[in-house]
Amino acid sequence: MFEIIDILGTIAFAISGVLVAMNKKMDPFGILIIAFVTAVGGGTLRDILIGQTPVSWMTNMIFTYVILGSTVLAVVFRSKINYLRTSLFLFDTIGIGLYTVVGVEKGLSAGLHPIICIALGTISACFGGVIRDILCNEIPVIFRKEIYATACILGGLVYFLIRKLPIEDNFVFIISGAIVIIVRLIAVKFKISLPSLYKK
Amino acid sequence: MFEIIDILGTIAFAISGVLVAMNKKMDPFGILIIAFVTAVGGGTLRDILIGQTPVSWMTNMIFTYVILGSTVLAVVFRSKINYLRTSLFLFDTIGIGLYTVVGVEKGLSAGLHPIICIALGTISACFGGVIRDILCNEIPVIFRKEIYATACILGGLVYFLIRKLPIEDNFVFIISGAIVIIVRLIAVKFKISLPSLYKK
Amino acid sequence: MFEIIDILGTIAFAISGVLVAMNKKMDPFGILIIAFVTAVGGGTLRDILIGQTPVSWMTNMIFTYVILGSTVLAVVFRSKINYLRTSLFLFDTIGIGLYTVVGVEKGLSAGLHPIICIALGTISACFGGVIRDILCNEIPVIFRKEIYATACILGGLVYFLIRKLPIEDNFVFIISGAIVIIVRLIAVKFKISLPSLYKK
């Protein structure tokens, strides 16, 4: 279950990378780099911070194959890209939901404090997209107005609230990831942002 | 003593991060991220380079609490922020002074060559501020005209010059850190910069 | 032989860093930082990703001495810098050729899959130059139009094609590195770029 979440997150982020790169009219190799960096960026920083090296995509080839496959498919079906483009936001959101849970789990395995696990989940979820946006010269998604990293933190909090309950582990994963996705969807739908500290 | 220096440096950098972020009118969460990244950025790169993982702020919760506390205080007393704003330069300078010493010490513990220890101290001191400035879209402090990293290097050199003398360790820490701070203060006060290589 | 390639690559990249930094009229310390970052950036990321820490330039002083020496020489002979400036492209190209081979070799030593080794070689080769360009506010060389990282990937592929042949290891190094350099030279000479996916 855990492995599947990791792979689904990789696919979602790879596709979101392809979409941003094609928006920028990059060449095929540039698209592949952006897809790869978006998909593995957050997990790589996570693994480096906790000292789990070689980082996971280097020792488990499934990530490379999944990213190559997603990229080729996205490029081949690029005539449908305008349809997909409206889905960029959705793929990115699914990605952060799944990666938040993966990051929290990895932090727990490393014996870290719950607050640090939530930070690690948020880093895993957000860093790939931040790198993607910096390389594509977009404003990093994390610094735009709508709630983004806050959704990951909320998902991480829910994870620790419900894991002591008599629920199966798989459901803890699914519920926490879903919280991230739902909070983000609602925040964007209703343009909810954090309150401002500054007088207008 | 050593631990105290590390924590004081964290506070100084966290406040400098809050000040820059509030200058940019970021939301509360953005302010927290910038405070955190500024405070732990240099130490994180240092720990990763020498392979001391999980990095120190992940295993010792005191850093997280100190950063959260400094951020909340700085935000609560934001009405006095104009007074503090003039102090941004001071907090940043105290931060690099303290972190230079911490970085040099960590390099020594890892058995590295003195030149590498000085480089490590300089990286610890400067990297958090560089990341802060990049994320806040300011010119990185290290690439502005006045002496900055050079002050850290001088402090590191002094550390190795005086540690063989019959002085207590605590004084070696304090003197080296003070050198960094004094050199930086004098350089900015009198607008001293490195000589140019280019004909005017 | 392997060590020599690593050092030659370091020299080539350090000089390319000095040239870009002097183009930007940086002060002596800025030039040294850029030379250092360009020369060790790729290798540092490589070592961190595979978990070989402290990273190689921290434990082997030869890299520091070579970079300091190259930087001083390049600055001392800066009156000839206009001649050298036309050679910037050449030094950068030699650098990526040599570092690709070093990165692939390190990946093999870490027991990684050939595809990952080629990725690691490409990262080693390209990352220093990317950091150099970002810090100097140039468009990162990897995102310009001409073939760059692709040359590294081709060199890595050739490495794995010919290493099973009855050729001495040294020749495998030299041929693979030469492929990278030749492909890049030809690509720039004849302005060859990857085919576009987009209709004009």
Q: Which residues of chain A have pLDDT under 70?
A: 1-2, 81-86, 143-145, 196-200
User: What Å distances lie between residue C140 and A133, A134, C38, C145, CA to CA?
Assistant: 15, 12, 12, 11
Under DSSP, is residue C60 helix (H, G, I), strand (E, B) or coil? coil
Write the single-letter amino acid at B86: T
* Percentage above 90 pLDDT, chain B: 40
Q: Is B54 on the interface with C (CB under 8 A)?
A: no
Distance of alpha carbon A63 from alpha carbon A38, whole angstroms: 12
Chain A residues in contact with B48 by the CB 8 A cut-off are 48-49
**C50 closest CB neighbour out of A25, A58, A61:** A58
Write the single-letter amino acid at B10: T
pLDDT at C84: 60
* CA distance to partner chain A, nearest, from residue B194 (Å): 32
Chain A residues in contact with C144 by the CB 8 A cut-off are none
Q: Is A194 on the interface with B (CB under 8 A)?
A: yes
Distance of alpha carbon B101 from alpha carbon B105, whole angstroms: 6
* CA distance to partner chain A, nearest, from residue C115 (Å): 9
Is A103 in contact with A182 (CB distance < 8 Å)? no
| Cβ within 8 Å, pair C28-B195 | yes
Is C93 in contact with C115 (CB distance < 8 Å)? no
Tokens of A144: 């735009």
pLDDT at A107: 93
Q: Which of A57, A34, A36 is nearest to A46 (CA)?
A: A57
Is C175 in contact with C5 (CB distance < 8 Å)? no
Residue B138 or residue A15, greater confidence? A15
| Cβ within 8 Å, pair B50-C48 | no
Distance of alpha carbon A11 from alpha carbon B161, whole angstroms: 55
Distance of alpha carbon A124 from alpha carbon A101, whole angstroms: 9
| Cβ within 8 Å, pair B193-C78 | no
Residue C2 or residue C14, greater confidence? C14
Taking residues B145-174, what's their average pLDDT?
Answer: 87
ipTM (interface pTM):
0.81
pLDDT at C19: 85
pLDDT at B44: 93
Torsion angles phi and psi, residue C136, rounded to 5:
-95, 5
**B29 closest CB neighbour out of A51, A120, A150:** A150
| Cβ within 8 Å, pair C48-A48 | yes
pLDDT at C199: 57
Tokens of A104: 């929290």
Determine the residue of chain B that is closest to A109 in CA distance: B54
* CA distance to partner chain A, nearest, from residue C197 (Å): 7
Taking residues C191-200, what's their average pLDDT?
Answer: 67
* CA distance to partner chain A, nearest, from residue C73 (Å): 34
Alpha carbon C103 to its chain's center: 10
Determine the residue of chain B that is closest to A145 in CA distance: B27
Mean pLDDT computed over every residue of chain C = 85
Other residues' Cβ atoms within 10 Å of the Cβ of residue B52: 18
Determine the residue of chain B that is closest to A146 in CA distance: B27
Chain A adjacent subunits, 3+ CB pairs under 8 A: B, C
| Cβ within 8 Å, pair C49-A44 | yes
pLDDT band at C145 (very low <50, low <70, confident <90, very high): low
pLDDT at A69: 93
**A197 closest CB neighbour out of B28, B53, B59:** B28
Q: Is C137 on the interface with B (CB under 8 A)?
A: no
* CA distance to partner chain C, nearest, from residue B123 (Å): 11
Distance of alpha carbon B105 from alpha carbon C48, whole angstroms: 21
Other residues' Cβ atoms within 10 Å of the Cβ of residue B133: 19
Q: Is C33 on the interface with B (CB under 8 A)?
A: yes
Q: Is B76 on the interface with A (CB under 8 A)?
A: no
Q: Is pLDDT of B130 > 80?
A: yes
Q: Is pLDDT of C114 > 90?
A: yes
Q: Is pLDDT of C193 > 80?
A: no
pLDDT at B1: 63
Which region among A6-10, A87-91, B105-109, C178-182 has the lowest average model confidence (pLDDT)? A87-91
pLDDT at C196: 66
User: What spatial distance separates the first Cα and last Cα of chain A, rounded to whole Å?
Assistant: 48
* CA distance to partner chain A, nearest, from residue C117 (Å): 9
Q: What is the dihedral of CA C19, C25, C29, C30, to 10 degrees?
A: -80
DSSP C64: H
pLDDT band at C175 (very low <50, low <70, confident <90, very high): very high
Chain A residues in contact with B75 by the CB 8 A cut-off are 197
Q: Is A51 on the interface with B (CB under 8 A)?
A: yes
| Cβ within 8 Å, pair A64-C150 | no
pLDDT band at C182 (very low <50, low <70, confident <90, very high): very high
Residue for token pair 């030699």: C94
| Cβ within 8 Å, pair A50-B51 | no
Q: Is A115 on the interface with B (CB under 8 A)?
A: yes
Under DSSP, is residue C188 helix (H, G, I), strand (E, B) or coil? helix
Q: Is C168 on the interface with B (CB under 8 A)?
A: no
Is B121 in contact with B152 (CB distance < 8 Å)? yes
Three-state secondary structure of chain B? CHHHHHHHHHHHHHHHHHHHHHHCCCCHHHHHHHHHHHHHHHHHHHHHHHCCCCCHHHHCCHHHHHHHHHHHHHHHCHHHHHHHHCCHHHHHHHHHHHHHHHHHHHHHHCCCCHHHHHHHHHHHHHHHHHHHHHHCCCCCHHHCCCCCHHHHHHHHHHHHHHCCCCCCHHHHHHHHHHHHHHHHHHHHHCCCCCCCCCCC
Other residues' Cβ atoms within 10 Å of the Cβ of residue B108: 18
* CA distance to partner chain B, nearest, from residue C56 (Å): 9
Which region among B36-50, C39-53, C141-155 has the lowest average model confidence (pLDDT)? C141-155
Residue for token pair 């205080």: B73
pLDDT at A3: 77
| Cβ within 8 Å, pair A49-B51 | no
Taking residues B66-75, what's their average pLDDT?
Answer: 89
Residue B139 or residue A129, greater confidence? A129
Tokens of C197: 């996916």
Chain B residues in contact with A116 by the CB 8 A cut-off are 57-58, 61, 64
Distance of alpha carbon C107 from alpha carbon A54, whole angstroms: 10
Q: Is A22 on the interface with C (CB under 8 A)?
A: yes
| Full DSSP string of C88-143 | HHHHHHHHHHHHHHHHHHHHHHTT--HHHHHHHHHHHHHHHHHHHHHHTTPPPGGG
Q: Is C21 on the interface with A (CB under 8 A)?
A: no
| Residues making up chain A, counted from first to last | 200
pLDDT at C92: 83
Determine the residue of chain C that is closest to B147 in CA distance: C29
| Full DSSP string of chain A | -HHHHHHHHHHHHHHHHHHHHHHTT--HHHHHHHHHHHHHHHHHHHHHHHT--S-HHHH-THHHHHHHHHHHHHHHTGGGHHHHHTTHHHHHHHHHHHHHHHHHHHHHHTT--HHHHHHHHHHHHHHHHHHHHHHTTPPPGGGSSS-SHHHHHHHHHHHHHHTTSS--HHHHHHHHHHHHHHHHHHHHHTT--PPPSS--
Size of interface A-B (CB pairs under 8 A): 51
pLDDT at A38: 92
Torsion angles phi and psi, residue A196, rounded to 5:
-85, 145
Distance of alpha carbon B154 from alpha carbon A149, whole angstroms: 39
| Cβ within 8 Å, pair B116-C58 | yes
The domain segmentation of chain A, as residue ranges, is 2-189
Taking residues C153-161, what's their average pLDDT?
Answer: 94
Determine the residue of chain B that is closest to C49 in CA distance: B48
